[in-house]
Amino acid sequence: MKGAAVALALLVTFAGRAASQGANEPVILLSPDSMWKQKHNLRVCADPQNMPFTNQKREGFDNKIADVIARELGDSVSYAWWPSRRGYLRNTLSAGTCDLVIGVPIGFDPVATSKPYYRSTYYIVSRADKKLGITSLDDAQLKKLRIGVNLLDGDYTNTPPAHALSAHGITGRGVVGFPGFYDDEHHPGEIIDSLAKGYIDVALVWGPIAGYFAKKSGVPMTLTALPDSDSVDLPFAYAVAIGTRRSDRELRSLIDSILVRKKPEIDRILMEYNVPTLGTTR
């Protein structure tokens, strides 16, 4: 499913980088003895350096949500760390080193997904002091500005904003690409940092990254949701869930009930990280 695979990429637990995983990762059917139940240890697959979602210090909002789930299950939490790029699921969930993946889009084929715990979209972000007032990619100002957007390399499907910019005739040197693969040199907040420093005028950014890093930048910024009418073949908004093996029905059912029961606490965590959310309908 192209849309779900792209969503996975852009949810930035796989942020903009694993858009082709849906075609390359195996569908995971078997469960390695339901270790979460036997050991009272919830084993989570996660990226070690992908704030605001997860990091090895367990500082991300998905780390905090994993703690909520584990606490409700009466379990401790351990992690199988792996950079979220090609081979991520093969080396984690499929290998049996963990039992769930936090932060996948509803409908991502290789896993079974829980109820969504938030829904967000892409945002038009600009410095408040510039007073640009841009609410759509049809705004004529954009053809004169430097626009930051995450781009994917190689054979990966590109991001929804990148597709939309091209469809609106906004190309060339005015479009500044930022890596969708993160490492010690490049990090998720790089695009917002460049905006704060004035290297670009506008950024088109996935909501959780936009909200979290805009707040951390110390520079007042304006966030405006990209309107659905601007999208081309890929939607801007995605509902985000927790992925398990298809065979782990009991675990998934328990997670569903926890997400409903602990929704107020989860919503507070999202607010603490300044994650802009939409309604969480499937």
132 shares a domain with 70: no
For range 201-212, the mean pLDDT? 95
Kindly state whether residues 165 and 215 are assigned to the same domain. Answer: yes
pLDDT at 10 over 50: no
| Run of H or E residues at 265 | helix 263-272
pLDDT band at 38 (very low <50, low <70, confident <90, very high): low
In a domain, 252, yes or no: yes
pLDDT above 50 (res 17): no
Q: Which residues pair with 125 in a beta bridge?
A: 203, 223
In this prediction the pTM is 0.86
Whether residues 30 and 84 share a domain: the answer is: yes
Do 246 and 207 share a structural domain? no
Q: Are residues 128 and 203 in the same domain?
A: yes
For residue 41, give both structure tokens.
């240890």
Residue 7 shares a structural domain with residue 114: yes
Q: CB of 221 within 8 A of CB of 125?
A: yes
**265 shares a domain with 219:** no
Residues 14 and 91 in one domain: yes
Assigned domain for 244 exists: yes
Structural domain contains residue 72: yes
Question: Are 244 and 172 within one domain?
Answer: no
Percent of the chain with pLDDT over 70: 81
The count of domains in the chain is: 2
Q: How confident is the model at residue 108 (pLDDT cuts 50, 70, 90)?
A: confident
In a domain, 277, yes or no: no
84 in a domain, yes or no? yes
Same domain assignment for residues 212 and 128: yes
- Residue 4's pLDDT band (cuts 50, 70, 90): very low
Calculate mean pLDDT across residues 160-180: 87
Residue 171: partners with Cβ closer than 8 Å, 6 or more residues away:
165
CA atoms within 13 A on the CB side of 171: 6
> Mean per-residue pLDDT for 235-259?
93
Residue 281 included in any domain: no
Average pLDDT estimate for 122-136: 96
User: Is the pLDDT assigned to residue 3 strictly greater than 60?
Assistant: no
If residue 55 lies in a helix (H) or strand (E), which one and from where to where? strand 54-55
CATH of the domain at 184: 3.40.190.10
The residue-averaged pLDDT of 33-61 equals 85
Structural domain includes residue 89: yes
Residues 45 and 132 occupy one common structural domain? no
Average pLDDT over residues 42-59: 93
Which domain does 203 fall in, by range?
122-230
Query: 227 versus 234: which is more confidently predicted?
Result: 227
| 279 within domain boundaries | no
What is the structure's pLDDT at 139? 95
167 and 242 together in one domain: no
What lies within 8 Å, CB to CB, of 58 at 6+ separation is 67, 79
Residue 278: name the closest of 243, 220, 236, 215 by CA.
236
